[in-house]
Structure 1
Amino acid sequence: MEEPSDDGIRELMYQLESAAIKCSERCLYQSSKWAAEMLDSLRPLDHDDTDLESPMDMTDSPIPPANPYIQIRDPAESALEKQESYKYLLAKSYFDTREYDRCAAVFLPPSTPPVPLSVSSPNSKSKTSRTSKKGKDAASPFQASKISKPQTQNPYPKLSQKSLFLALYAKYLAGEKRKDEETEMVLGPADGGMAVNRELSGLARGLDGWLSDRTAKGLDDQGQGWLEYLYAVVLLKGRNEELAKKWLIRSVHQNPYHWGAWQELNDLLGSTEDLRQILELLPQNVMSLVFYVYCSQELYQATEDTYRSLSELQTMFPESAFLKTQHALLLYHSKDFEEASHIFEDILTTSPHRLDSLDHYSNILYVMDHRPQLAFVAQVATATDKFRPETCCVVGNYYSLKSEHEKAVMYFRRALTLDRNFLSAWTLMGHEYIEMKNTHTAIESYRRAVDVNRKDYRAWYGLGQAYEVLDMSFYALFYYQRAAALRPYDPKMWQAVGSCYAKMGRVEQSIQALKRALVAGSLQPDESSHGGASPGSVSRKILDPETLHQIATLYERLGDEEEAAAYMELTLQQESGAPVNENSDEESSSDSEHSSPSDGEIEHSGDEDPDRPRRHRHKRKPRRAKESFAAQNDDSLVSESWNGTGVTATTSKARLWLAQYASRNGDLDRADQLAGELCQDGIEVEEAKALMRDVRARREDAA
């Protein structure tokens, strides 16, 4: 994509300005804010002839020409909007004061109140109606639409699309408000989805009829994209994802600068394959490029192509806090915490009251153990708005870092009370319950997290941890496989899969999974890849000695001592960082290096990181038997260099095993040398001295 000219930047200005105004008129305030922020971050025009100090007489200035980038409006729609202008102002004023039912009633006949106003027989009819709604209707808001015949006629009066959208959107939010009022406390006895939005079935039938009627009249090309977007949102609530995807694609074609539609479309993508398929169906403009970068970040694809697209966008929007956040999150997913924290720090300095994605910044500071900075960010967020979910998560992270887990849970619950769909809070609360050894509640928290976002590998990994604590290895394996399918280049995922296979006695599959962990851990980003863990631009580094030792032990269980000895030698070589014998490792794992995470051992049903890498997580894992590995941080594989690991408990165990192996095979010189090194290391000293005495005795007998 070439750098846009002044005309291209001018067109973007007009389109984003129009989008910000239209979204605000329809009370889509988050999308309006996004468009306005992107508009403000556009690079200035190269040739701006406006001179603010020029003494030009404004009365003599010519009338500016019509905007060539704004589409010609439908005359019929314009006439309807003009007729409804006063009523629209009234309806919008009701909406802004959160009187959603009154807003909808301005344009649509008022519906029956949610509580029946029955004068006769309050005991009979009201009871039956309430008991019937607790069953089927509560279970599915689309039950009525499934039973009745599909709506084929437009049930709404003749209104402009602008007024109809506001009225129907108000009805949708009225149902959401009543659903939230009926929902109990977070993770309470009835907090399991029993409360539903009762407006959804009527909205689905009505919008289906309205859209079908326009199709029959051949007016599809005159759609504005707003009602199509609303219909897709309603379908998504009813789990009709394929049909929702169709209407969202139509919506972004008709109204490409409405960011909310792109976000909903992103939520439907479960893998990079889904992203590749949908890119072919999208309009080819700057919004598709923004969408690609956003989806790649959500799918943890920190590839060269992603960074190239991000760089192109940042030439157009050099001051965009949104794009800077996407860059920081890409680095965060690649475990480049230092650089990611610098970007977030720059955003916070420039916009100290911006709370968007501040919970991710607190996760980074948590991992880096920067408690003073985290305390400062918590103070800034609290001073700005203490009742934002992001603020609650920042404060919760701060208390978690202080090991005050009960207070942390309280703040994560507060975040979820404010927004039940706030993903970070569900996952972080699950982590806290794991720390508090409340495994069953942790499982429920993680389950709610994956309900909100099936692409959250942290929640899948957390579920695997929780079930492993309960010694339910089969369930743990399933969830670890889900996490590994989303993060195929994260060694921690494959180590977890391999550990589960070993517990289940499936040794060969465990070895293959651990070899994948070795390959993933031996890849580090090249300097030109901006921290991306892309297999296309990587450099070799030392292998993880703990994983090598586990593989060697598994080969010993299979009775293959030669292969076990080869991996023990590799483990020992990591002390000095000496170049490893590629043939002994890479050839044995070549089948796993280039294979897809979804073939062979990954068996998942089509859906594709703990929300932050927990500092205390390894100490909680029963599968990590070795103390040296349990003490490692999550980013240890990233921070190691070719200087080697030095002497560790794991390498000393490998040295002892090799000394005993050499002794068994009659190589007394090698056994004596390794035992002497063990005595110098100060680890496994008693076993080493016993081995040296045995070697000396055998030499004397031979002499």
Structure 2
Amino acid sequence: MALSSEQQLELQTQLQRVVLACNERCLYFAAKWSAELLNSFATSEDGPNDDSEDTDNDDDVGVPQHGQYLNHDPKEARLEARELPRFFLAKSLFDCREFDRCAAVFLPIQVPHSTSSPQITSLTRVALLSPQQKLHAQVGSKGKSVFGRQPAKSKASGLPKNLSQKALFLALYARYMSGEKRKNEDSETILGPADGPVTANKEISGILALLEEYFNARGGLQDITNSQGWLDYLYGIALLRTKSDASAKQWLLRSVNLQPYNWSAWLELASLVRSPEEMQQFSEHLPRNIMSLFFHIHCSQELFQQTPEVFNALAQMESIFPRSSFLQQQKAMLHYHGRDHESALQIFDTLLKEQPYRLDGMEIFSNLLYVLPNRPRLATLASIASDVDKFRPETNCILGNYYSLMSEHEKAVLHFRRALTLDRNFQAAWTLMGHEYIELKNTQAAIESYRRAVDTNRKDYRAWYGLGQGYEMLECHSYSLFYYQRAAALYPGDPKMWAAVGNAYARCNKTGNAIQAFKRALVVGSHIDTSSSFGSSGGNSDPLAHAVGGALDPQILYEIACLYEKDGAWDEAAAYMELTLAQEEGAGEEGVGDEEGLGVTQVTCRARLWLARFCYARGEWARTMELANELCQDGWEVEEAKGLVRDVRGRLALAEEEEVEG
């Protein structure tokens, strides 16, 4: 998808405007994202090594003037011009993190701390009220519909008159940030008694009440003529913090349609997408522009969707923004989730070389190096991140992964706690800290860490899997089964998830379900033809007939065989034990390539011993001798194998004597 020069110029102008608008409203993350995108065009020549001569005739370079990104509404423009000195003061105070003083510039006394509006009449708030409060709200509205043209009037209105939308946004956003700051202070230590949902942002109710009144006076949700999209975004955030997801979705959708280049609004909207089906439903209400494609790529990555459509969308965006670090990061994460570690490693290496001071997403790179494992490169990454900024959550996650790989789990926990002290919503740190507590056998702390990770991002299958592990350690197998099922539903492409589900079913004495889950793990973890059903011990159509040379996980095959044995299905059990043995050898002459097997392992030795006993019980002495002699050579279960050999030899000798005498 290529843009014409006019389309590219228009897109650049839009990005320039939104960078300035986001900076004005102190939405610095969204401003940074848009600015990086603005510098990702193929034709951009504004680099640090640009030695071209400066000329006076730069007609092709669009330089936005101050009035270009202001609202085109004459009334809003007049209000903003009149407020300009106070706005400069408020923004300076915000930048100095004096949030209360910033809010007081425009809302000096109207919004006392922790005080909500006495009357709340919209659908988005009525759901949060008690029955008595709902009745009071309905009476107070005098029969008017919610978000009507004539809202119920409060005795003491919290909104000052003649205030621009930009000033109101900055004041309310400062109030929100003030509440977040107090919330973090009141939460005290990580995983302490006051940490978590028990401590809330006390400014949310006041912000909701003010925005309620503001939007009521302007026609409500359906009337978009009087809104710029920024206050809608703030209202959506406040509703999200009160768990009003349905209402938050409506206001965030309205925000991205009114102000499509505010990436922060798209991220909040993405947090509400729970499945590919929901993403499809969202797409029907999204604006038809380039930001919807970014949203689609980001949501697909979070939902672990490695489909051709996703990579096609990624390729289209890369044709427009070939230097975009964000797109490269998304591609690397897609490869990482798809277990294409080599491709992900190359992309992350390129990112690190091109932008060594960029830490965004580098904690995922450290996860990749941990999984490989590659300790020298992880140590290098930790050193680079520490030199850039020691007080970034990403840096502390990288250091935590390094110490975890070194088996220094206490130090790893220390760094993950530091990351969370810097940002309690940094979801990766909660999950990784849970892993470390599992290693330290601190089950309660691990479960609480995983719960916080799930609260932050319900799409993280690792956190759900960790909860299953924690409850499995506590022998609460029904609970562990539930969490393993959630993990497998979120990431069905990982055989580890299905194997965990199978183990949980087995511990709950649900043998049939356990066998099906283990077979699903085999299907996911192999590249064989799955058109036929598993478990057939006869016929050439069995898809497992050529599953040798390590094509399947021998541990899972052994577990399936044991479950069949438990059910009394001896032929099926023997067939899966034979398949377990088959993983030792290579593909042989009939196989394709020179693929080698797994060799002798403890699991295959246990399968060989089981088969030796099985053949012994059936009187198949030659096969029993063959298996027992192999066990004696392998070094596993030697004593029992020698006993079988002696027993079989004795029986054979006795049989020969009887034949001679006869």
TM-score after normalising by structure 2: 0.84
Query: Structure 1 segments of 4 or more deviating over 4 A?
Result: 51-59, 61-67, 69-72, 111-116, 140-148, 150-155, 216-219
**Cα displacement (A) at 1:462:** 0.9
Query: 1:552: how far off?
Result: 0.5
Partner of 1:23: 22
Is 2:442 the counterpart of 1:438? yes
The one-letter amino acid paired with 1:675 is A
Partner AA of 2:8 in structure 1: I
Aligned with residue 690 of structure 1, among 640, 643, 646: 643
Answer yes or no: is 1:82 the counterpart of 2:81: yes
1:37-86 Cα deviation digits (max 9, x unpaired)? 0111122179xxxx996896659x7998999x989822222222222222
| Residue 542 (structure 1) aligns with | 551
Query: Aligned partners of 1:65, 1:343: CA distance in 2, in Å?
Result: 34
Read off the aligned partner of 2:614 and give its amino acid letter: Y
**In structure 2, do the counterparts of structure 1 residues 278 and 71 end up closer, same or farther at CA, with 3 Å as the change threshold?**
farther
2:565 equivalent among 553, 556, 561:
556
Match of 2:105 in 1: 106
Which amino acid in 2 is paired with 1:28?
A: L
Residue in 1 that maps onto 2:324: 320
Contact 1:570 1:580 in 2 (8 A): no
CA positional deviation for 1:556? 0.4
Alpha-carbon offset, residue 215 of structure 1: 1.5
* 1:379-421 C-alpha deviation (Å, 9 max, x unpaired): 2222222111111212222222222222222221111111111
Counterpart code for 1:452: T
The corresponding residue for 1:453 is 457
Distance 1:302 1:104, change over 3 A: same
Tell me how far 1:542 sits from its aligned partner.
Answer: 0.6
Q: Distance in 1 between matches of 2:198 and 2:554?
A: 50
- In the superposition, relative to structure 1, how do residues 641 and 3 fare at CA in structure 2: closer, same or farther (>3 Å)? farther
Q: Distance in 1 between matches of 2:171 and 2:387?
A: 36
Deviation, 1:274, is 1.3
Distance (whole Å) between structure 2 residues aligned to residue 642 and residue 498 of structure 1: 29
User: What letter matches 1:643 in structure 2?
Assistant: E
- Structure 2: state its 5+ residue gaps: 116-125, 142-150, 530-545
Secondary structure of 2:211's partner?
Answer: helix
Cα RMSD after superposing both structures: 3.3
TM alignment of 1:293-308, pairs within 5 A: 293-308=297-312
Matched length: 602
- 648-657 or 143-152, larger mean C-alpha shift: 143-152
Q: Residue type matched to 2:244 in 1? A: N
- Name the CA shift for 1:478/1:641 in 2 (closer, same or farther; >3 Å): farther
2:281 matches 1:277: yes
CA contact (8 A) 1:141 1:238 kept: no
Q: CA deviation at 1:251?
A: 0.7
For the 8 Å contact 2:555–2:603, the answer to whether it is kept is yes
Deviations 1:232-263 (A, max 9, x none): 00000100000000111111111111100000
Task: Identify the residue that residue 540 of structure 2 maps to in structure 1.
Answer: none
- 1:27-106 → structure 2 map (5 Å cutoff): 27-44=26-43, 58=57, 73-106=72-105
Residue 216 to residue 277, structure 1, CA distance change in 2 (3 Å):
closer
Paired with 1:444 and 1:567, the residues of 2 have a C-alpha distance of: 39
Q: After superposing the two structures, state which structure 1 stretch, 665-674 or 290-299, moved more.
A: 665-674
Aligned pairs for 1:246-395 (under 5 A) are 246-395=250-399
Identity of aligned residues (%): 51
Q: Quick one: distance in 1 between partners of 2:63 and 2:379? A: 53
Q: Which residue in the other structure is 2:201 paired with? A: 197
Residue 171 of structure 1 pairs with residue 182 of structure 2: no
Gaps of 5+ in 1: 117-139, 526-538, 582-639
Once the two structures are overlaid, the 10-residue window that deviates more, 676-685 or 512-521, is 676-685
Cα distance change, pair 113–215 in 1 and its aligned pair in 2 (3 A):
closer
| Aligned amino acid, residue 161 of structure 1 | Q
Does the CA contact (< 8 Å) of 1:104 and 1:167 recur in 2?
Answer: yes
Counterparts of 2:634 and 2:640, CA distance in 1 = 13
**CA deviation profile, 1:612-640 (whole Å, cap 9, x unmatched):** xxxxxxxxxxxxxxxxxxxxxxxxxxxx9
Which residue number in structure 2 is paired with residue 7 of structure 1? 6
Partner of 2:612: 659
Mapped pair 1:183 → 2:194: no
1:649 to 591, 595, 602: 602
* Secondary structure of the structure 2 residue equivalent to 1:220: coil
- CA distance in 2: counterparts of 1:691 and 1:436, whole angstroms: 42
1:278 positional shift: 1.0
* Distance in 1 (alpha carbons) for counterparts of 2:303 and 2:197: 27
* 1:231–1:244 Cα contact (<8 Å) kept: yes
- Of the candidates 472, 484, 487, which is equivalent to residue 483 of structure 1? 487
Residues 555-595 of structure 1 deviation map (CA, whole Å, 9 limit, x = unaligned): 001001011111112112222244999xxxxxxxxxxxxxx
SS in 1 for 2:97: coil
Provide the rounded CA distance (Å) in 2 between the counterparts of 1:280 and 1:115: 38
**After superposition, what is the alpha-carbon deviation per residue over 1:470-522, rounded to whole angstroms, capped at 9, x for unaligned?**
11111111111111111112111111111111122211111111111111111
User: In the TM superposition, what whole-angstrom CA distance separates every residue of 1:251-291 from its partner, at most 9, and x where no partner exists?
Assistant: 11111111000000111111222112111221122111111
SS at match of 2:109: coil
Paired residues of 2:111 and 2:206 also in contact (CA < 8 A):
no
Whether the 8 Å CA contact 2:427–2:456 is kept in 1: the answer is yes
**2:238 corresponds to which of 234, 242, 252:** 234
- Asked whether the 8 Å contact 1:328–1:341 carries over to 2, the reply is yes
Q: 324-333 or 642-651: which moved more?
A: 642-651
The answer on whether the counterparts of 1:386 and 1:392 sit within 8 Å (CA) in structure 2 is yes
For the residues of structure 2 that align with 1:328 and 1:646, how far apart are their CA atoms?
33
Q: Give the TM-score, by structure 1 length.
A: 0.79
